[in-house]
Amino acid sequence: MEQVLVYGASGVQGGAVARLLIEQGFGVRTVTRSEQKAEALRRQGIEAWIGNMDDPDTLIEAHAGVDKVFLNLPIEFDVSNLSAYAANTVEAAKRAGVKLIVVNSNGFLPEEKSGSESLDIKLQMIEQVKASGIPWIVVKPTLYLENLLIPGVVGQEALAYPIPADKPIAWISSEDAAQYHAYALSHAELAGRTLHASGGEALTGIELAARFSEALGREIAFLSLPYEHFEAGLSAVMGAETAAGVTGFYRWIGSEIDNLVLKNEADRDIRSLLKLTPVADWIRKPDILSAFKG
């Protein structure tokens, strides 16, 4: 049984990867800061270590005996912290003799530095992994459907989000993205490659709202939310620094949307092997539907 260390297994994206890997027969390990979370993870069959990415000693212990690593880039925008996280992760993986690191970009990401600090930080972390000498695969999802669960995004009459109304995006759920990540972890021969993980259907903002109308049984219109309004709403939930970083990401998407649409079609050979969920079916999942109806 191959052992995979999954970063962020207590979260949405990492959790989906951990569950799928267990179903596929992998041994799964993770690192978490909370004993309470560790106990919940252990009940799911995940070997959970107490620690965090800024503690190199803990990471070295947690990596012992690990074959592969799933590195889920954290939502943080402090350059020095993220650089240290990457350095600690790479060093622990080297000492353990890890055979492969799969990096999740957590969304669209440029090929080169863009001038947007929130994106360039991620590129810096990925470059640290690439320079490690350990075989690597980068997986770049499009946009996570779970982002639409942010309070206020989908209301009684409107879906308000900071993307263009008329440009298609192949939104993806965390469970479907996990299929790409698990595929990468199972295909080490893809080392050195970047996979573009897109959902099964590319929808404009207007078409996305139509899917919600269909699933929720009420008319939902699409509103292309101004960036400053989006940032103000996030600040109340995430704090000003994180809100500014996330909004910078969406500003970049708006400026590059035509190029990103093309990437929705990349790696269709892999996509054809996966069982991806239509957006309307994702909305109708009981736990998702109750969130939108509530």
CA distance 155 to 138: 35
Domain ranges across the chain:
3-142+172-199+265-276
What pLDDT does 88 receive?
A: 93
Here the tokens at position 62 are: 């947690």
Residue % of the chain over a pLDDT of 90: 75
- pLDDT one-digit tens code per residue, 167-211: 999 999 999 999 999 999 999 999 999 999 999 999 999 999 999
What's the confidence (pLDDT) of residue 75? 75
Q: For the domain bounded by 3-142+172-199+265-276, which CATH number is listed?
A: 3.40.50.720
When mean pLDDT is compared across 5-19, 161-175, 237-251, 276-290, the lowest value belongs to 237-251
Counting other chains too, the contacts that 223-228 makes at CB distance below 8 Å and 24 or more residues apart are 223/158, 223/159, 223/160, 223/161, 224/161, 224/162, 224/163, 224/164, 224/165, 225/160, 225/161, 225/162, 226/162, 227/162, 227/251, 227/254
Q: Flag whether pLDDT at 12 surpasses 70.
A: yes
Mean pLDDT, residues 204-221: 96
pLDDT of residue 294: 64
DSSP-assigned letters across all residues of 196-218: EE--S--B-HHHHHHHHHHHHTS
pLDDT (tens digit per residue) in 224-256: 999 999 999 999 888 898 899 889 999 999 999
pTM for this prediction? 0.94
Give the pLDDT band (50/70/90) at residue 82.
Answer: confident
